[in-house]
A and B are shown apart, each in its own frame.
Chain A
Amino acid sequence: GAVVSQHPSWVICKSGTSVKIECRSLDFQATTMFWYRQFPKQSLMLMATSNEGSKATYEQGVEKDKFLINHASLTLSTLTVTSAHPEDSSFYICSARLSSLAEKLFFGSGTQLSVL
C-alpha cells in the first residue's frame, strides 16, 4: 500500500522556538494532505488541508500564522509550529489520499511534540 513518511517522531523544544514537521508521500503523488492534532484521550482534530501549489485551508479556530503549512511539491507537505508554547504540546499527524475522490487515507506515523 501507499506509504506516508512523517518525521521527526518526537520533538522536545523550548518555549518560543519553531518546529518543522515533514510529511512525504513515498510512492505516490499527493495533491492534498491533511494535518491533524490529537490531545491525550481525545479524537484527531483536523487542523488544515494542505493543497499542492496553493494556500492551505485552515479549520475554524486554527491560527494560520502560528501553524504554517507549505505544500511545495506533490510529495512533500510541512507544518511549522511557530513560537511554540506548552499548550501546543500534542500529537501531530499528517495524512494523504491517492486522489481527490479517494476515500482511503494513508497516515504518517505522527510526531509527538513536547514544548517545555
Chain B
Amino acid sequence: RKEVEQDPGPFNVPEGATVAFNCTYSNSASQSFFWYRQDCRKEPKLLMSVYSSGNEDGRFTAQLNRASQYISLLIRDSKLSDSATYLCVVWGSSYKLIFGSGTRLLVRP
C-alpha cells in the first residue's frame, strides 16, 4: 500500500464549480500535512498546510481527519487558473516529505 494515496482524476469541471479532492495516508504517526499545487513540468508550490481544526484560505478549504487518516481539499468557485495537479503531502518518518501521485484538475470555460 502506498504511504499517500490520491484519486488521480482528472476532474473536469466548469468554471464556478466546487470540487473536492481526497487523500489517505497510511502512517498514523504522521504529524504534518500539506496540499501542494504543481503545474506541468514545474516545481510544486505550497498551497496550504492542513490542520486538525480545518483551515480556509480564500476559496480553498483543507480538512484533516486523523481517525480516518484522511485529508481533503475543497475548491469553491473554480477558476481556469486552478487547472493543475494537486499533491497531497505528508511528513513521514525521518523528516521526509512523502508525496501523493497527485490529482489532476481541469477547469473548462
Contact = CB atoms under 8 A, between A and B. Distances in A.
B95 A44 contact: no
A110 B41 CA distance: 8
A103 B32 contact: yes
B1 interface: no
A93 B43 contact: yes
Contacts, number: 40
Interface in B74-109: 87, 91, 95-102
Contacts of B96: 34, 46, 49
Interface residues of A, number: 21
Most A Cβ at <10 Å: residue of B42, B97, B100: B97
Interface residues of B, number: 19
Contacts of B99: 36, 43-45
Given A43-B101, A43-B102, A110 B32 contact: no
Nearest to B44: A107
B43 A43 contact: no
Interface in A70-116: 91, 93, 95, 100, 103-105, 107-110, 112
A61 to B, nearest CB: 15
Interface string A32-49: 001010000111111001
Contacts of A41: 8, 101
A112 B41 contact: yes
B91 A103 contact: yes
Interface string B35-74: 0000001111110000000000000000000000000000
Interface in B10-45: 32, 41-45
A105 B97 contact: yes
A32 to B, nearest CB: 8
B64 to A, nearest CB: 14
Given A43-B87, A43-B102, A107 B97 contact: no
B43 A108 contact: yes
